[in-house]
Amino acid sequence: MDPLQQYEDFANAALTALSAATDTAAVEAARIEFLGKKSGRIKTLQDLLGKATAEQRPALGAKFNEVRQRVTAALEARQQELAKPKASLTGIDISLPGEQIRLGRRHPLTQTMDEFRDIIGRMGFTVAYGPELEDEWHNFEALNIPADHPARDPLENFYLATAQAVSGGPVLLRSQTSTVQIRVMEKSKPPIRIVSLGRVYRPDTIDATHSCMFHQMEGLMIGSDVTMAQLKTTLRLFATTYLGRDVTIRFRPSFFPFTEPSVEVDMSWGQGWMEIGGAGMVDPNVLRAVGFDPEEVSGFAFGFGIERFCMRRHNIKDIRRFTENDVRFLSQF
């Protein structure tokens, strides 16, 4: 066989073996097979060079050097390629330099709820949770809201057409977090001091201060001698802790089926007032619905709109900003 062809065959075989190597061990095996000093196939090429005639030696020597350099370069390239960190599932090589990753922020409403939990927790309240899909017992009946009350109008709620509660009745998206108070009182005995934070749903016309989905913090305190004075003190202390000493809270007489007496709670904002929730002493019918004796225990309940507290604190004029997903707005918090 032509010696020059043998050199070319050696190079082709070595390059094929290196290309097929999938790990560093296979690359090392190819290096020993082809370039090993003691037993590598390159020794055969050296022997051919030693047996060549004086006329053949210059051409064979040049070919030998060219083949050895080509295989050595391919070996080093394959070693470096396999030494690189593997690319991630997204195809990004994490070893490459690039811009610093920009981390996201917690939503302003999430930040507000976290702070609410901290403030109310220091007042001795614990956090309770309940489902957002509710039956009519927990959303209305146990809260002393009769069947003919306007709040139960199907047009004022989000009923699920095909869903049925365990009792067989209709299911709706809860319209208030007061449902959690009932669930807690059904399973617990006084004294009780809890809050519940979460989403509620009402088909309100969306404008600067209303939305069809918003967040509430519902509070409940049940004991042997709970008074309206304790309720007002709790709400004032909570509001000033979150909003600052410059906020003014006022209470207006009102009516809610589940509290008696009842008050609307407003806070000062600019030159006017904004309603932030309702409160009152737990109605005796609500206590009876969960098996409590109104002659032995009393309690207060309150519900705050979380969005409106956040709006007041950060001077946000439109509640729709929270759900528009405008990064320019959200990145400020």
Write out pLDDT tens, residues 2-29. 777 887 888 888 888 888 888 888 888 8
- Among 42-56, 120-134, 136-150, 303-317, which stretch is predicted with the lowest mean pLDDT? 42-56
Residue 34 pLDDT: 82
Q: Label residue 282 by pLDDT band (50, 70, 90).
A: very high
Helix (H, G, I), strand (E, B) or coil at 196: strand
Answer whether residue 180 is part of any domain.
Answer: yes
Cα 175 from Cα 159, distance rounded (Å): 10
Q: Label residue 1 by pLDDT band (50, 70, 90).
A: low
249-274 per-position pLDDT tens digit: 999 999 999 999 999 999 988 888 98
Q: For residues 17 and 33, is the Cβ–Cβ distance under 8 A?
A: yes
Tokens representing 1 are: 């066989």
CATH number of residue 187's parent domain: 3.30.930.10
| Structural domain span for residue 52 | 3-83
Q: Are residues 52 and 132 in the same domain?
A: no
Q: Are residues 76 and 199 in the same domain?
A: no
Residue 88 pLDDT: 52
Cα 56 from Cα 50, distance rounded (Å): 10
Answer whether residue 114 is part of any domain.
Answer: yes
Domain count, the chain: 2
Tokens representing 230 are: 């304790």
Q: Label residue 79 by pLDDT band (50, 70, 90).
A: confident
Cα 236 from Cα 37, distance rounded (Å): 88
In this predicted structure, the answer to whether residue 89 has a pLDDT above a threshold of 60 is no
Answer whether residue 92 is part of any domain.
Answer: no
Answer whether residue 90 is part of any domain.
Answer: no
Answer whether residue 296 is part of any domain.
Answer: yes
Cα 146 from Cα 159, distance rounded (Å): 17
Tokens representing 304 are: 């705050």
Q: Which amino acid, 203?
A: P
Mean pLDDT, to the nearest integer, of 141-152?
92
Q: Are residues 43 and 115 in the same domain?
A: no
The C-alpha R_g of the chain, in whole angstroms, comes to 38
Cα 296 from Cα 292, distance rounded (Å): 8
Q: Are residues 69 and 217 in the same domain?
A: no
Q: Are residues 126 and 79 in the same domain?
A: no
Tell me the range of 86-95, 146-155, 158-167, 230-239 where mean pLDDT is highest: 230-239
Question: Helices 24-35 and 57-83: crossing angle, nearest 10°?
Answer: 170
In this predicted structure, the answer to whether residue 247 has a pLDDT above a threshold of 70 is yes
Cα 139 from Cα 167, distance rounded (Å): 14
Mean pLDDT, to the nearest integer, of 105-110?
91
Q: Are residues 227 and 299 in the same domain?
A: yes
Q: Which amino acid, 17?
A: A
Q: Are residues 112 and 10 in the same domain?
A: no
Q: Are residues 35 and 74 in the same domain?
A: yes
Answer whether residue 209 is part of any domain.
Answer: yes
Q: Label residue 70 by pLDDT band (50, 70, 90).
A: confident
Looking at 83, 99, 130, the residue that finishes a domain is: 83
Choice between 50 and 152, residue whose per-residue pLDDT is larger = 152
CA angle (324 as vertex; 323, 327 as ends), nearest 5: 110
> Mean pLDDT of all residues in the chain?
88
Residue of 194, 193, 192, 177 lying closest to 134 (CA atoms): 177
Q: Are residues 8 and 137 in the same domain?
A: no
Q: Are residues 286 and 139 in the same domain?
A: yes
Answer whether residue 97 is part of any domain.
Answer: no
Q: Are residues 142 and 175 in the same domain?
A: yes
Mean pLDDT, to the nearest integer, of 136-145?
94
Q: Label residue 91 by pLDDT band (50, 70, 90).
A: low
Q: Are residues 187 and 301 in the same domain?
A: yes
Q: Label residue 183 by pLDDT band (50, 70, 90).
A: very high
Q: Label residue 166 by pLDDT band (50, 70, 90).
A: low
Tokens representing 139 are: 């959303």
Answer whether residue 195 is part of any domain.
Answer: yes
